[in-house]
Amino acid sequence: MSASNLLVGKNLEKLQALRNPKVLRIVEEYISLCKPATVTVLTDTKEDIQYMRERALGNGEESPLNLKGHTIHFDGAKDQARDKENTRVLLPKGAKVSSFINAKDRDDGLREVLGFLDGSMQGKELLVCFFCLGPNNSRFSIPSLQLTDSAYVAHSESILYRPGYEEFKRLEGSEDFFYFIHSAGELDERQNSRNIDKRRVYIDLEENRVFTVNNQYAGNSVGLKKLALRLAINKANQEDWLCEHMFIMGAHALNGKRVTYFTGAYPSACGKTSTAMLPSHSIIGDDIAYLKIAGDGRVYAVNVEQGIFGIIADVNPEDDPIIYHTLTTPRELIFSNVLIVDGVPYWLNMGKPMPKEGIAFCGKWDEGMKDAKGKAVQPTTANARYTIKISELKNADPQADNPQGVPIGGFIYGGRDSDTTVPVFESLSWAHGVYVGAMVESETTAAAIGQVGVRSHNPMANLDFLVVPLGLYIKNHLAFGDRLDRQPKIFHTNYFLKDEGKFLNSKMDKQVWLLWMESRVHNDVGALETPVGFIPKYEDLKILFAGAMKKEYSRQDYEQQFSIRISKLLEKIERMQKIFAAEEGLPGVFTSHLQQEKARLEGARKNFGKDVISPFEFY
């Protein structure tokens, strides 16, 4: 059926009310290409949002659970994670990007994905949705148009993102918006995408759009999340702001009278969520931040999202009391790929035994099940998720939807290594902090596939999502800081230092590292200058441990944790020199910081006559 036959009545009126020819043109184009049986245009009204919820239940993509507002969605067994191999940036002929960026010729990619989308919605309903990246009616806002044949995708986005229909009206016909075309494709009897071998996720920077087809897992299908992150990184690097893979949180001073806002970027399994959700502090966002300079010369940040698409494995009442309470009480909440028994969800390491049978992503499951290769089938995956609004959390910050954003006092970059980096340090300057962020590494653990202890380089914890050359990305970070009158301090954390196989920190020591960083932003405490940056003084940490954790902090613990390990740090620099040697366009300021830090480390070893230098030596 043609677009003219499907776009009639109220649906057409809703689109015409936007007075945006490009929106109407896009909707008509993909109706003609995807060939849906019906089209429904959804606005910001409660009635329209309720419609998409009911459609997700009615078409079997979601099922109700025992608690009011809770539903379960299952992805197919082969559609359980981001598809990195088939997630590609479409590049025009002759364009160059860093070697780590997964790219495809734009003409070839468009030909392929449009071919897969041709007729992909036959017999299904096309939902036309409008969302906003960032707070509504804000200079940070990026209106976003989503076309999808999955009510689950639309429902997820209504939780994760702010409503955008009125944002499109405010555009007054402007073409400055993102748009996303998604089709789950042909479905099997469980309403899961059937043709996973034809799963494609293509990012078209030329048109600020994303195509995604033959998938339902939200990391691949919810275009406004990590896919829009790529578009926004490209946009930010063409303009004068930053788009980062960062949380935003309010750190509350020990006396309870001050809140200092931080952003933080951590690779997977390095402590990002556990830092953002620390007790006694408040959260604005856990994943993606837009950062811009305001008239007062400071950095302000907003959370792109209003919700969390979080990994549920290991969420338990002891380690994550706020999230666990939220997941076990009535509210609007979508579980995905957990085990369901009599309407109750179960997940890995939730603090109670896993049942021996139930309904899982593979269908009916029991403890003795094996796959075709004889391997035990797990009841749930380590990537099982929950989708909720941040406002449902008890520790949600009251400034979360402030259209002006919140002023940022500090950036935190978190890495993971067992033998090199101190638990927390402050960079020597903004430029040195950019260098610190670009040097972030993550060490593999026993839980990861492959060899234990292998370090992966992940600059600014954003490597998977960069669509611009690394040299340009670093250059723009440096230039951003130069435009500031009040630069945030930049810190680095490492919660995973070990000695003889045992962690030198407890899980909750990060509470003290955060409080020390908060104090440093306001110059309430001094610090010791070392070759890698400023580290805490023992007496300041002793006070913070006693006040925040009622814990005695010994000189021995301090010395073990904050000693400067010269050889290990020089080994890291050597690794980085090899990596950065392959990158074109690195700013001279950046490479000079690498050389200067190497010289400082070698000088310290010569001056002190030691390879491991106690922090007390720097007093």
| DSSP per position, 27-75 | HHHHHHHH--SEEEE--SSHHHHHHHHHHHHHTTS-EE-SSTTEEEE--
Q: Return the closest-CA partner of residue 383 out of 319, 449, 461.
A: 449
Tokens matching residue 66: 């025992």
For residue 425, count other CB atoms closer than 10 A to its CB.
Answer: 25
Cα of first residue to Cα of last residue in the chain, in angstroms, is: 78
Question: Directed axis angle between helix 588-608 and helix 470-482, to 10°?
Answer: 80
Buried b (16+ CB within 10 A) or exposed e, 44-75: beeebbebbbebbeebbbbbebebeebbbbbb
Return the DSSP state at 375: P
Sign of the alpha-carbon dihedral angle for 304, 308, 313, 314 = positive
Check: CB of residue 387 under 8 Å from CB of residue 308: yes
| DSSP per position, 451-501 | -TT-EEE-GGG-GGG--S-HHHHHHHHHHHHHT-SSPPEEEEEE---EETT
| Dist CA 509 CA 491 (whole Å) | 16
> Exposed (0-12), middle (13-18) or buried (19+): which is 255, by Cβ within 10 Å?
exposed
Choosing from 34, 132, 270, 362, the catalytic residue is 270
Cα angle 577, 578, 582; round to 5: 105
Active site residue 270: yes
For residue 445, count other CB atoms closer than 10 A to its CB.
Answer: 13
> How far is Cα of residue 468 from the mean position of the Cα atoms in its chain?
18
Tokens 């690794």 found at: 575
Instruction: Name the residues annotated as catalytic.
Output: 270
